[in-house]
Amino acid sequence: DTGVSQDPRHKITKRGQNVTFRCDPISEHNRLYWYRQTLGQGPEFLTYFQNEAQLEKSRLLSDRFSAERPKGSFSTLEIQRTEQGDSAMYLCASSLGGGRTGELFFGEGSRLTVL
Amino acid sequence: AQRVTQPEKLLSVFKGAPVELKCNYSYSGSPELFWYVQYSRQRLQLLLRHISRESIKGFTADLNKGETSFHLKKPFAQEEDSAMYYCASNYGGATNKLIFGTGTLLAVQP
């Protein structure tokens, strides 16, 4: 499968613990996005990378959240001191700059449950 | 603020019946609108874009700027159309930052 892959698919953690999610985009895609989806809602934009540069962060991304994309390949999303409100599906997507506008390729998501 | 509204959480129709999934948007500039679909146990994927004026799997969507709507339509629903449908607006231009609606679950009954 050459699509966007995310790891782990499921993570259960206790409140206050740190968690990290990894996303491997489609290899030739230079753009990478993180979204969060809670029950009954659509995906909400968190942050966006073009190559290794993080170009935008949503106000939803508190100081406890940090995302990186070293070398412009895979990306990690770390949540420090998790809270129950962080429980959600974290979706990664990638796209090719200059490709079809609005076409994001999504991974299957990483589901976080904070107890 | 940019917003995409999908008023129906669930739309249930019988096979062969027409389908219309509603989407309204608020946007101050020239909107770029999309429909994404998520079939059971599959990842979210692009269905169609308004600028392409295309028909995908029998679905079409027309941008109505006067009503600020982008409803998704299909004349004859099939059971395999059952899925979660999200309307989305691109407010980031070339950066592809999408705002999604809350989604409508389409259930096509046999």
Residue A12, chain B, CB below 8 Å: the answer is no
Which residues of chain B neighbour A97 with C-beta distances below 8 Å?
94
pLDDT at position A87 over 70: yes
Q: Say yes or no for a CB contact (<8 Å) between A103 and B9.
A: no
**Is-cis flag, bond preceding A8, omega within 30?**
yes
User: B92 pLDDT band (50/70/90 cuts)?
Assistant: low
Cβ separation A101–B96 shorter than 8 A: yes
Contacts (Cβ under 8 Å, ≥6 apart) of A64: A79, A80, A81, A82, A83
C-alpha distances (whole Å) from A34 to each of A30, A47, A78, B11, B13 are 14, 5, 11, 29, 34
**Cβ count near B78 (within 10 Å):** 13
The tens digit of pLDDT for each residue in A11-45 reads: 999 999 999 999 999 998 999 999 999 999 999 99
Q: What chain B residue is nearest to A48 in terms of C-alpha separation?
A: B97
Lowest-confidence range among A76-85, A89-98, B26-35, B70-79? B26-35
**Percentage above 70 pLDDT, chain A:** 98
Contact between B50 and B3 under an 8 Å Cβ cutoff? The reply is: no
Mean pLDDT of A74-95: 97
C-alpha span between A26 and A6 (Å, rounded): 11
